[in-house]
Structure 1
Amino acid sequence: MTTSDPYHASLNPADKETAVGLYPHDMHPGLVPGISVDDQRNRFGLDKPLFFTTAAFIIAFIIWGVIWPDSVANVSSAAFSWAITNAGWLLNITMILAIFVMAYVGFSRLGRIKLGTDDEEPEFGRFSWIAMMFGAGIGVGIFFYGPSEPLAHYLTPPPHTVDGNSVEALHQAMAQANYHWGISPWAAYALVGGAIAYSSYRRGRVPLVSSIFKPLFGSRDTDGPLGKLIDALALIATLFGTAATLGVSAIQIGEGVTIISGHPVANAGLLVIIGILGCAFILSAVSGVSRGVRYLSNINITLTLGFVIFVFIVGPTLLLLNLIPSGIITYLDQLLPMMAKGLSWGDETIEFQSYWTAFYWAWWIAWTPFVGMFVARISRGRTLREFTLITVFAPTAILILAFTVFGGTAISFNQKGLEGFDGSASNEQVLFAMFQDLPLGTITPFLLLFVLAVFFVTSADSASVIMGTMSSKGDPTPINSSSSSGVCP
């Protein structure tokens, strides 16, 4: 291949020198037959400047937190408050745009584009594909917030809506929880994941967040300091997000052990639990996505759906049968009004947004580099239409079902006056109290502990693989980097 074609003739000298394998994957999408990153001459390996700079930042932050924990808390709180006040509108607009962009991608002619070469087939079956994106994008949140968030919205509905502890509050609670966990976050995941998958498996770029910006900034900038900065921020966001998720998992497991044994678990006990599960996920991470992550994800989704079906059958079945369709309809009916809520609605709305919606939006957006890269990794060979529809709607359907069943049951127990459902208990206490008050209450907590442990390993496993890719210049199978990255959270 020579550089005498019109495309290369149009490049400036800097782009010719810094870009790798430009032709044909930087041509117009309509002219590209598809070229994979595997067909490019990329040199993978540890990205030492990125790895050590990020590691130094993380270590410095940990030292700061250990020596001056109050300072970290105050600075973090002040930064979050400033961001909500001054950039809350941007979070909301970003989530809204993600929905409309993915709707256009999924239902336009762009949907026919394959995330891979024209003759490439999907690497994973559809069930495993959905299971893996479900495990990476949700983690233990389905159990941690499933019963407690709808209950919280039922007792204290969003401002300017309905009165608490009412029939209207029941449906408003389900709509609000579905809004936080439904289409919006999964559209954001799909936007980033689809862009990375298209960039890597259709245009031949390395599967990094910085590759998305190559058409905007050019090869010289995205292969240089700007690209390193983008990937470093993505790596830091993934590391902190993973640490928070694993912390929540450990708290849930510790609470479960306390409830079952009758003895509180000290911090040392939590560290032992984390250490044991950490060894498990490092072994799983080394086995790769096609084995460890896939097998664990299949177990995760099967057990989760099993718990949902169990609660549906032995819980307030008649209420849930009526609540599922009415909750979905209320969610769709209130979707636009909920999107429109912002600072202009007054102090009460600002407080609610800070504690709930804006917090979630910031969390999901920070989580998009990890989930986006992981979803891109497992979606190779799919069309953009299939990718969009499944990524947005399949996890949303599972979450709406789970939150309605778990949340509706918790609200039903509140209406019956059962202990632990008055809004004063922690999220994990509500979870275990719900299962203890159902039939087989002496057995299900043990099974629940097992599910939480598997979720812990799966989340850490998926994150370690992606952090390994980030720190090894986009290597899709970074075995050594995965195991070393797995130690960090």
Structure 2
Amino acid sequence: MKEVKKDNTVYIISLIVVFAIVGWGFAAPANFGSAANALFNSLVDNFSWLYLISMFVFVAFCVAIGFSKYGKIKLGPDDSVPEFSTVSWFGMLFGSGMGIGLVFWGVAEPLNHFLNPVGIEGATTEAANFAIKQSFFHWGIHPWANYAVIGLALAYFQFRKNAPGLISSIFLPLIGEKGVRGPVGKAIDILAIFATVAGVATSLGIGTLQINSGLSYMFGLPTTTMVQLSIIAVITIIYIWTAVSGIDKGIKLLSDLNLILAFAILALSIIVGPKLAMINSLTNGIGMYLDKFVYDSFHIEAFGDNSWIGGWTIFYWAWWIAWAPFVGTFIARISKGRTIKEFVIGVILAPTLASFIWFAVFGSLGINLGAEVAAEATKLTETAFFVVMSKYPLGFIISIIAVFLLGTFFITSANSATFVLGMMSQQGDLNPSNSKKVLWGLVQALLAFALLLGGGLKALQTASIAAAFPFAIVMIFACVALVKALKQEL
């Protein structure tokens, strides 16, 4: 592409959109919440089929491209080499893509499914098997393939075709340079920025609640606005500092620390927990997951009640799509020099296996304690992890490490998002200015705190998921654009 003239349109409109929506959420949280819920419920009622089909298409597309003749093509010039070691690369993509959700839901989701499975009696052996299989499904190949579609297409156009690091750049083969720089391209980039800001601000707020709840459960620290403000302030200072330090310093170091802490929690939990149940859950869970993979990918009741599917599977699929612009952009940024096959294996299979191990371990820890403890733990999702850990030896130590891990996962998600927002609002510059990174970092923190105060966090999450609905369509066209470009390579 030609050199891009300085144009702040996307940056300015994005800030206006974000502040307008936040202002609405803060000033009238009930009205904002009901509007967001109505929109999301309408999408779930009428378009669940589209979410299911789209996510399966992303899986099929990534596998087909990764293991095709195009798999040997590098994301960059033919002589390029990866910027980061495989371990650091994995740590960064894992921290940005799942991170906090694994700590938040690692215990809580299997226990919810254990007590309230679909079509079978709760708190039974069948319910336990269902709980592990369904957790694997929600956190397995589908979400990572969803991230990989944007990440792979963007990395290809960024590093091999020298296009700006913007989501709109993916559509060069379909609408040309004029279209990418015009209203359609700008709309795609603005939507990507909103989805990123809203998604990360929601996670920052929810994570703040979990850190506060954990400290309250363990040490009796009060659950107050002042404590939550302090948590947000400390995390904000660290994630802005690490984002400004750059990927190769701050973000990489924290991602490496994440892996160490996550591995420590996992190892200690295996030591104190029911080891055989964990191994059997992993083995059986993978078997059930693979056996029901196609069925679960398309399962929706044509004539029955879809409330469970809507509340869990469709909600997750929509949430992963909402996160795709941010996570995909960040993964693309750190993947220069890898082949398409390497990218697909690294981004999809490795994190999926890690998620399976995580849910097998923490799901087994919770289910092993029985229905009574499960009911106690699921009363409040934020404290589910800490309730279960309190029943095991070394549980207090594991919980302390978990609070630190929550903090580092938050920071890695927020600093990578801050970096990506700088790129998106600076015409895809791979090294955005510190002023833009600082501004977006502060916007995310203010957003999270304002909505915590106004009680609109859940509403913002729902709004961001609903607003990201068009991204399912955008991503299907991204697959078409990438195939069209790759056909010219070989």
TM above 0.5:
yes
TM-score normalised by structure 2 residue count = 0.88
Query: What code does the residue aligned with 2:298 have?
Result: A
Which of 388, 400, 422 is the matching residue for 1:446? 400
Deviations 1:406-444 (A, max 9, x none): 0111011125x44x6446421221101122222123333
Residue number in structure 2 paired with 1:149: 109
Distance 2:63 2:441 in 1: 35
Residue number in structure 2 paired with 1:134: 94
Residue number in structure 2 paired with 1:67: 27
Q: Does 1:373 align with 2:329?
A: yes
Deviations 1:151-185 (A, max 9, x none): 11111112x4x332221221111111111110000
Which of 190, 203, 206 is the matching residue for 2:148? 190
Distance 2:4 2:313 in 1: 41
Residue number in structure 2 paired with 1:394: 350
Aligned length: 443
Q: Does 1:413 align with 2:364?
A: no
Which of 156, 163, 179 is the matching residue for 1:221? 179
Structure 2: runs of 5+ lacking an equivalent: 445-490
Query: What code does the residue aligned with 1:52 have?
Result: I
| Secondary structure in 2 matching 1:438 | coil
Query: What code does the residue aligned with 1:272 have?
Result: S
Please show how residues 32-43 of structure 1 align to structure 2 within 5 Å.
41-42=3-4
Which of 210, 217, 225 is the matching residue for 2:168? 210
Shift in alpha-carbon separation, 1:441–1:424, aligned structure 2, 3 A: closer
Distance 1:57 1:189 in 2: 24
| Secondary structure in 2 matching 1:292 | helix
Residue number in structure 1 paired with 2:215: 257
Residue number in structure 2 paired with 1:8: none
Residue number in structure 2 paired with 1:382: 338
Deviations 1:61-104 (A, max 9, x none): 12212221110011011001100111111111110000100111
Identity of aligned residues (%): 38
Which deviates more, 310-319 or 235-244? 310-319
Residue number in structure 1 paired with 2:472: none
Distance 1:336 1:279 in 2: 44
Contact 1:155 1:423 in 2 (8 A): no
Which of 89, 97, 107 is the matching residue for 2:67? 107
Which of 4, 12, 15 is the matching residue for 1:55? 15
Residue number in structure 2 paired with 1:363: 319
Contact 1:135 1:455 in 2 (8 A): yes
Query: What code does the residue aligned with 1:488 have?
Result: V
Distance 2:123 2:199 in 1: 34
Deviations 1:228-280 (A, max 9, x none): 11100000000000011111210111101211221422012101110111011
Contact 1:411 1:421 in 2 (8 A): no
Contact 1:414 1:422 in 2 (8 A): no
Residue number in structure 2 paired with 1:246: 204
Distance 1:217 1:283 in 2: 38
Deviation at 1:483, TM superposition (A): 1.8
Contact 1:65 1:72 in 2 (8 A): yes
Contact 2:112 2:378 in 1 (8 A): no
Contact 1:255 1:429 in 2 (8 A): yes
Deviations 1:115-147 (A, max 9, x none): 010000000000000000000000210010011
Distance 1:63 1:101 in 2: 39
TM-score normalised by structure 1 residue count = 0.88
Contact 1:293 1:462 in 2 (8 A): yes
Bigger Rg over Cα: 1
| Secondary structure in 1 matching 2:16 | helix
| Secondary structure in 2 matching 1:356 | helix
| Secondary structure in 2 matching 1:478 | coil
Deviations 1:369-418 (A, max 9, x none): 00100010111000000100111011101111001100111011125x44
Query: What code does the residue aligned with 2:440 have?
Result: S
Q: Does 1:352 align with 2:308?
A: yes
The CA RMSD over aligned residues, in Å, is 1.4
Contact 2:154 2:329 in 1 (8 A): yes
Contact 2:212 2:221 in 1 (8 A): no
Residue number in structure 2 paired with 1:462: 416
Distance 2:244 2:370 in 1: 45
Deviations 1:344-363 (A, max 9, x none): 1511xx10122100000100
Which deviates more, 259-268 or 321-330? 259-268
Residue number in structure 2 paired with 1:96: 56
Distance 1:313 1:110 in 2: 43
Contact 2:132 2:360 in 1 (8 A): yes
Distance 2:420 2:103 in 1: 24
Contact 1:175 1:334 in 2 (8 A): no
